[in-house]
């Protein structure tokens, strides 16, 4: 068995499992947020039981539309507050941050745990070796009631990382490269695991970024393993990290990936740095490194959205918020920001947006015609300064670095 099969077998109480086998796994954490929780709660109430399987293991997060942009959004918050009070479950309701980041900061994630989350980016926890299963609201309701989830054991595709990242390339560039390779549905119903000596150059935050976008290849599970090769996998793809250069996913798909250096002049009107993909301290650091020396271009809105209150606190301690504001950027409250298309920086028809978020589908952040390019924080920050999509090395070369 490979390590995914070992984790799943343990969670199902079985000695061994094989690909395609239908199993029922115990759930270690069940999570939902303000977009998916109201329906999950309604479905849970339909079941007709008076308790969740374990209140300590159910987490609700208000992060997608906070503070509320509409009356309906605020109503969703109330539904969650009442459910949390009635069943005694954990609720983050004051803008503490994005659900995936909060789970990592406050819930002691451990390899082999089964996390069921009503958000497609639940795979982010794979950075910790957690099996993060993204589900919809009804399946989450069933998990809250039973403490179990039914799964089929997936074939495992191994990405074996060698070497080390060079220059300004980051975890985001690795995963965009992989999405181009596999396509948006290349890993549907499969697990993707990351192994090899190359993972040593990737801190936990970068591993989270990589797993976060596993769903953008259709994967059921995205998960980091040990440095050594995994046993008995369906396929191994070797990726030498020194060959990774800064890239951008161009409209209209996360798989439409091109090297930034080959894009030519593309004028940009908004830059978004944040989200569960790239809103951590190491990501904001890239923006600070650039913006402390260069102001934001006059034609660009530059939005910085910390992934959590803990990230924002540290930004303030280090004096980064003032540096960013003085450069002409806006630092918002922690949360999802405009990633999900509900508030805090939507684009009009003529906008061109460079964002560190995870999706660039048409209309994702406002008007269908607003182009969205997905990049790493370093590329986004260099772009905010130049006002056109810019390879971070090019900006720094100009400075004589």
Partner 1 sequence: MEPIKGRIWVFGDNIDTDQILPGYAMAEAAANLGRFAMAGSKMPDFSSQVKPGDIIVAGKNFGGGSSREQAPVALRAAGVSLVIAPSFARIFRRNSINIGLPVLLADIREHVKTGDWIEVDLAAGTIRTADKVLAGQPLAPTVLATVQAGGLINRVRQELGITD
280 Rama sector, left if φ>0, alpha if ψ -120 to 50, beta otherwise: beta
Q: Is 400 in the site for partner 1 (CB under 8 A)?
A: no
**139 vs 206 by CB, closer to partner 1:** 139
Size of the site for partner 1 (CB under 8 A): 49
Q: Which of 4, 11, 65, 89 binds partner 1 (CB under 8 A)?
A: 65
138 binds partner 1 (CB under 8 A): yes
Tell me how far apart the 2 most distant CA atoms of the chain are, in Å.
67
Of 102-110, 215-223, 295-303, 309-317, which part binds partner 1 (CB under 8 A)? Answer: 215-223
Angle, helices 37-47/71-87, rounded to nearest 10 degrees: 40
237 near partner 1, judged by CB under 8 A: no
**SS3 at position 313:** helix
x/- mask, partner 1, residues 30-49, rule CB under 8 A, reads -----xx--x--xx--xxxx
Strand partners, 192: 157, 222
Give the distance from CA 96 to its chain's centroid. 16
| Nearest approach, Cβ of residue 271 and partner 1 (Å) | 20
Min CB(137)–partner 1 separation in Å? 4
Residue 223 CB contacts under 8 Å (≥ 6 apart), including other chains: 4, 123, 126, 129, 130, 131, 132, 191, 192, 193, 194, 211
The CA-based angle 132-133-139, given to 5 degrees, is 145
Per CB under 8 A, 342 contacts partner 1: yes
Site for partner 1 in 240-269 (CB under 8 A): 253
CB 123 → partner 1: shortest distance, Å? Answer: 11
Using a 10 angstrom Cβ sphere, with 0-12 exposed, 13-18 middle and 19 or more buried, the burial of residue 394 is middle
Minimum separation from the CB atom of position 340 to partner 1 (A): 5
Q: How far is the CB of 182 from partner 1 (least distance, A)?
A: 12
Interface residue with partner 1 among 135, 153, 202, 378 (CB under 8 A) is 135
Edge-first strand order for the sheet with 156-162 is 221-224, 191-195, 156-162, 235-240
**Interface residues toward partner 1, by CB under 8 A:** 22, 35-36, 39, 42-43, 46-49, 65, 70, 72-73, 75-76, 117-120, 122, 134-139, 141-142, 145-146, 150, 184-185, 188-189, 215, 218, 220, 253, 340-342, 359, 361-364, 368
């Amino acid at each position: 068995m490979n390590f995914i099969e070992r984790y799943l077998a343990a969670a199902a109480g079985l000695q061994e499992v094989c690909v395609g086998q239908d199993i029922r796994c115990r759930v270690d954490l069940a999570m939902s947020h303000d977009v998916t929780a109201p329906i999950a709660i309604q479905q849970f109430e339909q079941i007709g039981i008076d308790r969740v399987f374990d209140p300590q293991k159910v987490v609700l997060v208000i992060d997608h539309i906070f503070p509320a942009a509409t009356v309906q959004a605020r109503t969703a918050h109330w539904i969650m507050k009442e459910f949390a009070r009635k069943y005694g479950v954990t609720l983050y309701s004051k803008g503490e941050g994005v659900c995936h980041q909060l789970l990592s900061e406050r819930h002691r994630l451990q390899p082999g745990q089964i996390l069921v989350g009503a958000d497609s980016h639940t795979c982010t926890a794979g950075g910790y070796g957690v099996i993060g299963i993204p589900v919809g609201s009804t399946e989450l309701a069933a998990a809250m009631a039973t403490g179990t989830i039914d799964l089929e054991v997936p074939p495992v595709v191994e990405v074996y990382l060698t070497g080390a990242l060079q220059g300004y390339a980051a975890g985001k560039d690795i995963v965009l490269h992989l999405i181009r390779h596999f396509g948006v549905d290349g890993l549907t119903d499969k697990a993707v695991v990351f192994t090899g000596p190359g993972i040593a150059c990737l801190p936990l935050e970068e591993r989270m970024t990589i797993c976060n976008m596993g769903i953008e290849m259709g994967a059921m599970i995205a998960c980091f393993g040990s440095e050594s090769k995994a046993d008995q996998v369906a396929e191994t793809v070797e990726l030498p990290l020194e060959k990774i250069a800064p890239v951008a996913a161009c409209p209209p798909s996360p798989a439409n990936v091109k090297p930034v250096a080959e894009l030519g002049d593309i004028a940009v009107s908004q830059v978004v740095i944040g989200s569960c993909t790239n809103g951590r301290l190491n990501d904001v650091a890239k923006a600070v490194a650039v913006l402390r020396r260069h102001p934001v271009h006059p034609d660009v809105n530059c939005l910085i959205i910390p992934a959590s209150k803990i990230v924002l606190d540290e930004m303030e301690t280090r004096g980064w918020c003032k540096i960013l504001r003085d450069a002409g950027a806006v630092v918002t409250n922690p949360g999802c920001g405009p990633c999900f298309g509900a508030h805090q920086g939507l684009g009009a028809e003529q906008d061109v947006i460079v964002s560190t978020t995870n999706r660039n589908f048409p209309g994702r952040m406002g008007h269908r015609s607003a182009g969205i390019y997905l990049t790493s924080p370093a590329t986004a920050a260099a772009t905010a300064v130049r006002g056109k999509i810019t390879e971070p090395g090019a900006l720094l070369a100009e400075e004589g670095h």
